[in-house]
């Protein structure tokens, strides 16, 4: 490809709304262009890099038995209504009616469609196991797209789906994907870790996320040196057990202007761990029994209680009450159930859903609200003064929380989710009647798994990991071209430089070396700056100076050293260099420790 014919241009400055390095550089280097919030066009350089990424993905998924299919972007709503997700997912789903007035959806994911395929194709245990995958466009109307390709509304994803006759089969396919995903990311030059995660709208029994650690990440992860790791949404931690003490009589005391836990603890002269913190939420809960007939939801007031030295984890709380969505309750809603903002407790309340963290029953004589402005109760005890609809872990782990496995302090880090894997089990097959007949002649639901990687987000993360102050520095496996050939024409140039560059360009392509030739009439400074910005692994410079030194100037993008290579040795030297670069990447593809 000649740079003069490339359908993109470089930019000297990044747009002001480009927030992070990968977004800035992909725009400046001419890889992507925005169309609308969270929607991008991928120009030729990006398309070539994405092709490389998607080829790696295909190779690794097919290596574990995957068969490629293509499922549609537009889905009939009836499929999503069968599983209930049509009613459970809010405005993030793209919905419309076709010309016949039928409800339709834009694909957010493809569990419903693949389950429909399975129930039509799979009838006997002899047809199992199966693994199918596709690379397809998705639409999720995220209210806050940001960070370029990191958080978008339209994106391309590889999603694969395993179909098994038994749970052991699901375990095998899940573990095969667990390793295959590490292979994919490492072959793309991206370091990742796998952490346990919330199953979210996907449902199922178990999920892992693959996280690229970066300060720009939106997810918080809790990590311990013993090997435990989890997204903060689901992270467990070891909660200290207070020393045993006898239950004391509850008493109401005046606590003027003590609306916060810190104010209360200071006023009473007690640690925050001796208080009970109240959190009020309004949860929208779907009614499964009526989903097939239409959307039925119920708004419930949720009164959550944690110890005062802890915070409520809203994901854990939402999962506990099976909420479709959740928001903070207003002061009017709080008073409507008999509680008082800043001075509330579950003591004496009814008509509310009370969820208590599992550390509270083990913590005697806590100070809690009296549901009267300016007053608190001291010595409240769970089971004596109030009960809960559910006692469960709803506390949020954070920096320094004790690891649930070894008890050592954990550290909190930021990360970007680059892929996820889910054990769906029979969540979809049971709802949609995707059954098979086993060896004994019994009809059973197919056991499923779901596994996704967004190729655009992966591209952005690789750019985030591999750049310097001058531009992108692509790994050889992802780079749109291996070589950036720069032709410099001097004032006394007789045409020999151009002839040499053209011969070299054709020789490189004839040897299978993908080369971008900068044949433009631009200054050396502009050409070198653009080469650094675009970030191809190898730069070759054809110039009068290099010709007088006996050849062509060679420089790796990730190094500062420049050497002259005789013209006749250039192709073989580049081939050796590419093999070396690929070997460096291959050395990173190793067996991963599986954290179940």
Confidence check: pLDDT of 290 > 50: no
CA 72 to CA 75: how far, in whole Å? 7
Two tokens, residue 573: 């030297």
Q: What is the pLDDT of residues 184-196, one digit of tens each?
A: 999 999 999 998 8
In CATH terms, 251-392 corresponds, of 3.40.1380.20, 3.60.15.10, 3.90.960.10, 3.20.20.140, to: 3.90.960.10
CA 478 to CA 271: how far, in whole Å? 54
Confidence check: pLDDT of 543 > 60: yes
Confidence check: pLDDT of 200 > 80: no
502-511: buried (b, 16+ CB within 10 Å) or exposed (e) per residue? bebbebbeee
455-465 and 44-63 helices, crossing angle to 10°:
110
> Which one is predicted more confidently, 43 or 287?
43
CA 180 to CA 452: how far, in whole Å? 12
- Mean pLDDT over residues 356-361, rounded? 96
Q: Which CA distances in Å does 595 have to 80, 179, 206, 221?
A: 32, 11, 11, 15
Q: What kind and span of H or E run contains 80?
A: helix 77-83
Model pTM greater than 0.75? yes
Bridge partners, 375 (sequence order): 254, 372
Q: What is the pLDDT of residue 495?
A: 64
Confidence check: pLDDT of 504 > 80: yes
- Mean pLDDT over residues 96-102, rounded? 97
Task: Return the CATH class of domain 481-586.
Answer: alpha beta
**CB distance 313 to 322 below 8 Å:** no
Q: Which CA distances in Å does 441 have to 115, 116, 122, 123, 414?
A: 21, 22, 14, 11, 50
Measuring CA to CA, which residue among 448, 396, 404 is closest to residue 424?
448
Q: What kind and span of H or E run contains 119?
A: helix 111-121
Confidence check: pLDDT of 291 > 60: no
Q: Which CA distances in Å does 154 have to 20, 167, 311, 352, 464?
A: 19, 34, 34, 39, 20
Confidence check: pLDDT of 136 > 90: yes
Q: End-to-end alpha-carbon separation of the chain, Å?
A: 47
Give the whole-number percent of the chain exceeding pLDDT 70. 95
> Which one is predicted more confidently, 550 or 58?
58
Q: What is the pLDDT of residue 207?
A: 85
Q: What is the pLDDT of residue 323?
A: 86
Confidence check: pLDDT of 595 > 90: no
For the chain, the average pLDDT equals 93
* Non-local CB neighbours of 521 within 8 Å, separated by 6+ positions: 489
- Mean pLDDT over residues 573-583, rounded? 97
Confidence check: pLDDT of 89 > 80: yes
- Mean pLDDT over residues 85-91, rounded? 87
- Mean pLDDT over residues 32-36, rounded? 96
- Mean pLDDT over residues 144-171, rounded? 96
CA 224 to CA 406: how far, in whole Å? 9
Confidence check: pLDDT of 289 > 70: no
CA 161 to CA 427: how far, in whole Å? 13
287 — pLDDT class (breaks 50, 70, 90): low
Measuring CA to CA, which residue among 198, 180, 183, 377 is closest to residue 278?
377
Bridge partners, 290 (sequence order): none
CA 198 to CA 194: how far, in whole Å? 13
Confidence check: pLDDT of 90 > 90: no
- Mean pLDDT over residues 123-152, rounded? 95
Confidence check: pLDDT of 271 > 90: yes
Bridge partners, 382 (sequence order): 386
Instruction: Mean pLDDT check: name the lowest of 53-67, 90-104, 279-293.
Output: 279-293
In CATH terms, 19-235+412-464 corresponds, of 2.40.128.30, 3.40.50.720, 3.30.930.10, 3.40.190.10, to: 3.30.930.10
**What does R_g of the chain's alpha carbons equal in angstroms?**
29
CA 240 to CA 230: how far, in whole Å? 20
Bridge partners, 106 (sequence order): 74
CA 224 to CA 164: how far, in whole Å? 34
Q: What kind and span of H or E run contains 137?
A: strand 130-139
Q: Can you say whether the dihedral through the CA atoms of 97, 100, 103, 109 is positive or negative? A: negative
CA 501 to CA 552: how far, in whole Å? 9
Tally of CB atoms within 10 A around 273:
15
* Non-local CB neighbours of 301 within 8 Å, separated by 6+ positions: 280, 281, 282, 329, 333, 337, 351, 352, 353
- Mean pLDDT over residues 512-519, rounded? 97
Secondary structure (3-state) at 278:
strand
298 — pLDDT class (breaks 50, 70, 90): confident
- Mean pLDDT over residues 508-523, rounded? 96
Q: What is the pLDDT of residues 522-542, one digit of tens each?
A: 999 999 999 999 999 999 999
* Non-local CB neighbours of 73 within 8 Å, separated by 6+ positions: 106, 107, 136, 137, 138, 139
Q: What is the pLDDT of residue 202?
A: 55
CA 278 to CA 338: how far, in whole Å? 14
Confidence check: pLDDT of 386 > 60: yes
CA 581 to CA 482: how far, in whole Å? 10
**CB distance 266 to 386 below 8 Å:** no
Two tokens, residue 344: 């509330």
Helices (H), 214-274: 261-268
Two tokens, residue 317: 């709380």
Give the residue extent of every domain in the chain: 19-235+412-464, 251-392, 481-586
CA 548 to CA 546: how far, in whole Å? 5
CA 587 to CA 183: how far, in whole Å? 11
CA 346 to CA 331: how far, in whole Å? 16
Q: What is the pLDDT of residues 205-222, one digit of tens each?
A: 788 999 999 998 888 999
Q: What is the pLDDT of residue 491?
A: 56
Secondary structure (3-state) at 186:
helix
Two tokens, residue 491: 């004032």
């Amino acid at each position: 490809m000649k740079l003069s014919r490339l359908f993109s241009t470089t930019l000297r400055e990044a747009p002001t709304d480009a927030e992070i390095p990968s977004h800035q550089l992909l725009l400046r280097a001419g890889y992507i262009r925005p169309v609308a919030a969270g929607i991008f066009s991928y120009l030729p350089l990006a398309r070539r890099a994405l092709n490389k990424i998607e080829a790696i993905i295909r190779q690794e998924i097919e290596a574990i038995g995957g068969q490629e299919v293509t499922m549609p972007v537009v889905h009939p709503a009836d499929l999503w209504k069968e599983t209930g997700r049509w009613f459970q997912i809010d405005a993030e789903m793209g919905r419309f009616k076709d010309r016949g007035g039928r409800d339709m959806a834009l694909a957010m994911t493809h569990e419903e469609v693949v389950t429909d395929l399975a129930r039509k194709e799979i009838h006997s245990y002899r047809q199992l196991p199966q693994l199918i995958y596709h690379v397809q466009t998705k639409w999720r109307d995220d209210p806050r797209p940001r960070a370029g390709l990191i958080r978008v509304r339209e994106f391309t994803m590889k999603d694969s789906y395993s179909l098994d006759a038994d749970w052991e089969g699901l375990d095998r396919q899940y573990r095969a994907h667990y390793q295959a995903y590490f292979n994919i990311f490492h072959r793309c030059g991206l370091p990742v870790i796998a952490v346990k995660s919330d199953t979210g709208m996907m449902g199922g029994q178990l999920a892992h996320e693959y996280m690229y650690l970066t300060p720009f990440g939106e997810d918080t992860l809790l990590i311990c040196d013993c090997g435990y790791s989890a997204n903060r949404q689901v992270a467990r931690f070891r909660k200290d057990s207070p020393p045993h003490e006898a239950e004391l009589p509850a008493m109401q005391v005046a606590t003027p202007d003590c609306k916060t836990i810190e104010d209360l603890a200071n006023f009473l002269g007690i640690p925050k761990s001796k208080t009970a913190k109240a959190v009020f939420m309004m949860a929208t809960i779907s009614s499964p029994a009526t989903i097939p007939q239409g959307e039925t939801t119920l708004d419930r007031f949720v009164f959550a209680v944690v110890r005062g030295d802890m915070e409520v984890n809203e994901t854990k709380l939402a999962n506990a009450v099976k909420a479709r969505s959740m928001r903070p309750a207003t002061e009017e809603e709080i008073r409507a159930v008999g509680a008082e903002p800043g001075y509330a407790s579950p003591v004496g309340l009814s008509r509310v859903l009370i969820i208590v963290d599992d550390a509270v029953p083990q913590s005697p004589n806590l100070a809690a609200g009296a549901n009267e402005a300016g007053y608190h109760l001291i010595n409240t005890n769970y089971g004596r003064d109030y009960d809960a609809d559910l006692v469960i872990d709803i506390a949020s782990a954070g920096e320094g929380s004790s690891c649930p496995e070894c008890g050592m302090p954990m550290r909190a880090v930021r990360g970007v989710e680059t892929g996820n894997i889910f054990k769906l089990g029979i969540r979809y097959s049971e709802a949609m009647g995707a059954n098979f007949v086993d060896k004994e002649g019994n009809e059973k639901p197919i056991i499923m798994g779901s596994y996704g990687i967004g190729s655009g987000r992966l591209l952005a993360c690789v750019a985030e990991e591999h750049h310097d102050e001058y531009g992108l520095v692509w790994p050889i496996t992802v780079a749109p071209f291996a070589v950036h050939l720069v032709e410099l024409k001097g004032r006394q140039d007789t045409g020999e430089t151009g002839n040499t560059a053209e011969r070299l360009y054709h020789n490189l392509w004839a040897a299978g070396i993908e080369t971008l030739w900068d044949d433009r009439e631009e200054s050396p400074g502009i050409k070198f700056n653009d080469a650094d910005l675009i970030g191809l692994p190898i730069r070759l410079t054809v110039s009068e100076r290099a010709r007088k030194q006996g050849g062509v100037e060679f420089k790796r993008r990730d190094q500062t050293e420049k050497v002259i290579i005789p013209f006749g040795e250039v192709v073989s030297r580049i081939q050796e260099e590419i093999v070396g670069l690929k070997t460096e990447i291959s050395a990173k593809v190793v067996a991963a420790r599986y954290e179940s």
